[in-house]
Amino acid sequence: MENNAQNSEIELDRENIDEYMKGKNGEILIHAEPDAKPKKTSKKKDSGAGKFLLGVITGAAGVAFGVLIAVIIVTAVTKKENHNPAEGFITEDVMTKAAYIRNLLKGSYYEEITDEDLVEGIYRGMIASTGDKYSTYYSREEIEVSRGDWEGKFFGIGAVLTTDPETGYGMIDSVNQGSPAEKAGVKAGDIIYKVDGTETYGMALTEIVSMVRGDDGTEVVLDLIRNGKEVSITVVRGEVTEEHVYYEKKEDGIGYIILAEFSDIAYEQFTEAIDKAKADKVKGLVLDLRSNPGGDLNVCVNMCREIMPESLIVYTEDKMGSRQDYSCDGSKYWDIPMVVLTNGGTASAAEIMTAALQDTQMATVVGKKTYGKGVYQNVYSIPDGSAAKITAGRFFSPNGTCFHGIGIKPDVEVELDVEAYQKDKTDTQLQKALEILKGQIEKN
């Protein structure tokens, strides 16, 4: 999708972002998940939180595998060896068997397949052999796409893209209000038949996204199928900023913040929301992390520092048992009653924030048990511009609990009545959160 969609206290040096695409051997990159399923979290707000939240609940739940990346800007130590580094690994037998399988595919596979595709498949297969669903290989094109996602700003048409399972072509899932796509007449539900003359049939979503994106002010021609008819539309690309945070003041002086994911731009939007809530002099806060798939650990930690008391936020351990703590000095502690909303799509960085607020008794957790992703990944650059994402360690809450594969149990378990929500936006989980906060405010 165009809005795809998706790092430890090792403080992030922004100057290193410019080095992001230079492909230094073994460098651990800044990265966000590029191959997640379509998200709808970036839809613009209508009359309130309803449309925003519905997009979060129904769309981001599909990316519960959202990856949390621990970023360390270092260069891996490369040993200088006199012998072939592949010796004992890429043997003559391996080469012979690979060539045999290549010939089988080239001669017998029912569709055309290139040697480039086969070589890329080898790289992907090596990492897939770990059996770890979070470790993977990214091509240079996929890295290009993910860079804008991580920053939360990029140049494109301002639409959420997906693939249509019925036709095998790309499809416009939604169009952002005021975006280049909306101005050009692109509509949700349009089938993307071609992008600049290239058919999208059978393409990976990331390939379609990379074709749709481009430099500011450039044009992209979309051949669309709408109501059975072909429509050709030229869209002038522009800067697109994703909306990852929504704020409003509820009745009884309660603030309500929906946090859709932990991207770079989300931190700016979160601090703005906190400032608005404080200006509104809210007496309590609901922090909605439902279907938040995670994201950047640095962003998560820094958000926690905007509201938490002096405390440990999270710590990591790698395979060697090395521990790294991430703490808050309490200088911005916001001492008000708080409820965190969670569900089965609350994952990764969202679970870190949930656990930190729960363990420090700063917030009551309401909703359903979280997803249970308590491991982090480092993304290492490869000299040709591609990258390898490797699961490198586990996260632990302030109380020393690793929630990986387990999830975080809410203090108050509440089901979401989906039918009621779809009918008139009645949100049973939010209602319970507001009820709890109102009671806490009255006690104070």
The CATH number of whichever domain residue 298 belongs to comes to 3.90.226.10
211 and 305 inside one domain? no
Same-domain pairing of 259 and 225: no
DSSP string, 324-381: EEEEE--TT---S-EEEEE-TT--THHHHHHHHHHHTTS-EEEES------EEEEEEE
Higher pLDDT, 209 or 274: 274
The more confidently predicted of residues 293 and 29 is 293
Return d(Cα 354, Cα 365) in angstroms, integer: 7
What mean pLDDT, rounded, does the chain reach? 81
Judge whether residue 11 has pLDDT over 70: no
Q: Which residues neighbour 40 within 8 Å (Cβ) at sequence distance 6 or greater? A: 55, 56, 58, 59, 60, 160, 173, 174
Q: Which are the contacts of 210, defined by CB distance < 8 A and separation ≥ 6? A: 141, 142, 144, 145
pLDDT at residue 35, as a whole number: 31
Q: Is residue 22 part of a domain?
A: no
End residue of a domain, out of 241, 267, 301? 241
- Shared domain for 293 and 350, answered yes or no, is yes
Which of 225, 241, 257 is the endpoint of a domain? Answer: 241
On whether both 354 and 367 belong to a single domain, the answer is yes
- Return the higher-pLDDT residue of 425 and 12: 425
3-state DSSP call for residue 176?
A: coil
Q: What is the mean pLDDT of residues 178-187?
A: 91
Averaged over 275-283, what is the pLDDT? 97
Is this prediction's pTM over 0.85? no
Is the pLDDT at 15 greater than 70? The verdict is no
Do 431 and 339 share a structural domain?
A: yes
Looking at the domain assignment, is residue 284 inside a domain?
A: yes
Q: What pLDDT does residue 327 have?
A: 98
Degrees (nearest 5) of the Cα angle 105, 106, 112?
100
Structural domain includes residue 261 = yes
The answer to the question of residue 167 being in a domain is: yes
Q: Are residues 253 and 193 in the same domain?
A: no
421 and 283 share a domain? yes
List C-alpha distances in Å: 419 to 33, 209, 253, 366, 425: 31, 33, 28, 20, 9
The predicted pLDDT at position 418 comes to 84
Q: Are residues 317 and 434 in the same domain?
A: yes
Say which residue the tokens 């480039």 belong to. Answer: 116
Rounded to the nearest 5 degrees, what angle is found at the Cα of 149, between the Cα atoms of 211 and 383? Answer: 75
- pLDDT for residue 31 is more than 90: no
Q: Determine, yes or no, domain membership for 259.
A: yes
Confidence of residue 146 (pLDDT cuts 50, 70, 90): low
Q: Which residues contact 392 (CB under 8 A, 6 or more apart)?
A: 70, 318, 319, 376, 377, 378
Of 72 and 103, the structure prediction assigns the larger pLDDT to 103
Of all residues in the chain, what percent carry a pLDDT higher than 70? Answer: 78
Helix ranges restricted to H, 213-296: 264-279
Q: Give yes or no for residue 75 having a pLDDT over 50.
A: no
Cα dihedral 248, 253, 259, 265 in deg (nearest 10) = 60
Q: Determine phi and psi for 306, rounding to 5 degrees.
A: -75, -15
Q: What pLDDT is stored for residue 329 in this prediction?
A: 97
Rounded Cα distance, 300 and 70, in Å? 11
273/400 same-domain check:
yes
Q: Rounded mean pLDDT of 345-368?
A: 96
Cα–Cα distance measured from residue 192 to residue 223, given in angstroms and rounded to the nearest whole number: 6
Q: How sure is the predictor about 268, in pLDDT bands with cuts at 50, 70 and 90? A: very high
Band of residue 78 on the pLDDT scale cut at 50, 70, 90: very low
**17 — pLDDT class (breaks 50, 70, 90):** very low
Structural domains of the chain, count = 2
Residue 84 falls within a domain, yes or no? Answer: no
Residue (of 352, 148, 146) closest to 265 by Cα position:
148
Separation of alpha carbons 13 and 385, rounded Å: 21
Mean pLDDT of 90-94: 89
Sign of CA dihedral 301, 305, 309, 312: positive
Say if 206 falls within a structural domain: yes
Q: What is the pLDDT of residue 444?
A: 77
Task: Indicate whether 404 pLDDT > 90.
Answer: yes
* Residue 227, domain CATH: 2.30.42.10
Beta pairing partners, 287: 257, 340
Query: φ and ψ at 383, to 5 degrees?
Result: -50, -30
Q: Which residues contact 99 (CB under 8 A, 6 or more apart)?
A: none
Residue 197 scores a pLDDT above 90? yes
DSSP 9: S
Range of the domain at 426: 245-376+393-443
H or E segment at 312? strand 311-318
* 32 belongs to a structural domain: no
Block residue for tokens 């656990």: 355
CA distances from 372 to 206, 258, 326, 349 (A): 26, 20, 20, 11
pLDDT at 314 over 90: yes
333 and 411 share one domain: yes
| Residue 349 confidence (pLDDT) | 95
Give the pLDDT mean for 192-214. 89
Domain boundary among 201, 226, 241: 241
Query: 189 and 331 share a domain?
Result: no
287 and 162 part of one domain: no
Is pLDDT above 60 for 65?
Answer: no
